[in-house]
Structure formats: structure tokens, C-alpha cells
Amino acid sequence: MMINLAVLGATGLVGQKMRKILRERNVPFDHIFFFASKNSAGKKLYFKDAWYNILELTKDNLKQCGITHALSALDSPLAKEFLPYLAELGAIIVDNSSAFRMDDDVPLVVPEINLDAVEGNLIASPNCSTIQSVVALKPIYDAFGIKRIIYTTYQAVAGSGINGVEDLVRGDYNIANTFYPHPIAHNLLPHIDDFLDDGYTKEEMKMVNETRKIFNDQEIAITATAVRVPVFESHMVSIVVETKEPFTMDQVLEAFQGAQGVIVEDDVAHNVYPMPLNTAGKDEVFVGRIRRDHSVANGLNFICVADNTRKGAALNTIQILEKFITK
């Protein structure tokens, strides 16, 4: 079968990461096409050993290129405008936006957990902070069951794309110049994505709803607080979890150590724990500060850290695509 692969939104932070990881993993294709907005169209980009024209994202261009597979790093409005059309043309699409994640007929997939949920030709990849959290929680869910989760996130500016990164680089205190509503340098913003009527943000509710959908378990009680921190890359998530079954700490450690895509970094006697500085550019989710929560029966506290534009976005979409494109 001919593989005409498209990268949609190829020039943004996630699109750049997709190109890097496609190269690193040597994902096979017959032809590759890079699509972006009008601003970038006509410019060239270098991929593997050739220069490619960046194509303007239009329905005509998608049709003319005969796209069979697509990785989408488009924002939600553009995803809604173009992906259903591309799906109608028969292409297999893995979408990084939130546009279709909660649609009943669209699987929401993290390969370490529910690759078998893939069906149809439009597949959604979850929000970055959700992906790393569920990869870390999977061994706990399987071994002991999960009753309740409290998430608190510490999210890097790369999650906002280039605008967030530029705010932190400038370190600007004049909010007339900033992308965020307040300076991010020397600050913490308890505000990611829009606020909803009940005071939660959309980012917080993505963590709640997407976690339940991925584990296919609507019974888990979940609450979340999402905070933007002045770090360039890699999100940290503090996870407080109440399990259904009792556990020993040795069993917990064994579960984490045997989990796919998880690396345990937990040796507090030597100040060893996961940190954004060490996880940027890595594929895995790093888990540490593992300790019992003494405030409830069957309570566990830990943190997880992962590269948010890599495992939290580009890599996850490519791991899903690899189910369709075997080497």
C-alpha cells in the first residue's frame, strides 16, 4: 500500500517535534507532505536529506496530494475544519488537538494503555498532562484499582507553543507585551486554557474527562488543578491516588518498575527524583517521590515528569500511527 504521509501544522512546536521523531524512528512512507498556514506556505524545510516546499493547508491541496495518513498538530478550530474532510477522503488521521477527543465514535489513545481501542480512521491523542499521568497510573490501576485521583500540574511554557516560550525568554513584566495574562517569568499562573462557569479550567477538565475515557472507567473520582510554571519543557504532575485494594510499598515499586514507558527515579537519600531538566528529549514518563499517603486508607502520592511536546504530543501520535504503518 502506498503511504502518502502528511504533517499538518508542520511548522509549530509540535509539528517540528513530529518531524524530528519521524526521522529518529525512521517511520516509513512513500511520499511526505508538510502543510502549514498561508504565512509559511511557499517556504522550504529540510527533512531527512531533502528540501520540501511547505504547502498551504487547503482542502484542494490535501486532495491533490492523495494523502493516505496524517499526523495533525493543528489547533482545534482548524482540526474541525479540515480533519473530517480528510477522513472522508479515506485518510488515517491521528489528531493532537482537543477537537474530537470526547466524541463517542473517536478513540482516545495512549499506546501503553489502550492501543486496542483504535478503530475507524480518525484517532485522537490526549492532552499532554493527561498522557503522562495515565502512563504512570496504568500499573497502579491494573494492580490495585483506582477510586480517586487528585492531580496538580506544573506545566512548562512549551505547552502553549512558541508564544509561551517567547514570553519566558523575554521575561517581560509589561503585560501589554505578553501572551499570558500575567508575566510568566518569576511567576506561577494557576490558569491554563479558558475558565469554565464552575471555576475549573478547560485544561483541568481535560485531565478529568480524558483519564476516565482512556481507562474506560467513569467511576473514578478525579479532581485537578493545572498551573503554568516558568520552565521551558517537560510537565510535572503531582498525583495523589486512592486505590481500591490495599498495597505494600514494595508492590507499588514493583508495579512501576514493570510498567511500559515508565522509568522510576526515586532515591531521596541521594536527592534523586524526576525533574524537567533531565526529562526533556526523552520518550519515557519518569516517576518518583513515591510515598504512602497516610491521610487515607490505600493512599499513594508520587510525581511524574515527561517531555510534554514529545510523549505528551508528537511521540504519542507517531506511536499510534505506527500501528497502521509497520516497518
Positions marked catalytic: 128, 235
Nearest to 93 by CA among 162, 21, 9: 9
155 among the known binding-site residues?
A: yes
User: How far apart, in whole angstroms, are the C-alpha atoms of residue 46 and residue 100?
Assistant: 31
Contact 299, 242 (CB under 8 A): yes
Annotated ligand binding at 228? The verdict is yes
Closest Cα to residue 35, out of 2, 61, 14, 60?
Answer: 61
Interface positions with ligand 2RA (CB under 6 A): 127-129, 155, 159-160, 192, 203, 308
Comparison of 155 and 243: residue with beta carbon closer to ligand 2RA: 155
Q: Output the smallest distance, CB 307 to ligand 2RA, in A.
A: 12
Of the pair 106, 128, the CB lying nearest ligand 2RA is at 128
Residue whose Cβ sits closest to ligand 2RA = 159
| Residue owning grid cell 489502550 | 114
Whether residue 101 is annotated as binding a ligand: the answer is yes
Q: How far is the CB of 235 from ligand 2RA (least distance, A)?
A: 7
Check the annotation: does 11 bind a ligand.
yes
Q: Pick between residue 127 and residue 316 the one whose CB is nearest to ligand 2RA.
A: 127
DSSP 136-197: HHHHHHHHH-EEEEEEEEEE-GGGG-HHHHHHHHHT---GGG-SSSS--TT--BS--SPBPT
- Closer to ligand 2RA by CB, 203 or 284: give it: 203
The annotation status of 291 as a binding-site residue, yes or no, is no
Q: Output the smallest distance, CB 216 to ligand 2RA, in A.
A: 22
Residue 155 CB, shortest distance to ligand 2RA, in Å, is: 4
Question: Which three cell numbers mark 207?
Answer: 485531565
Please enumerate in sequence order all residues whose Cβ is within 8 A of that of 23, keeping only pairs 6 or more positions apart, or say none.
Answer: 47, 48
| Residue list for the binding site for phosphate | 101
| Residue list for the binding site | 11-14, 39-40, 101, 155, 228, 308
| Residue list for the binding site for substrate | 155, 228
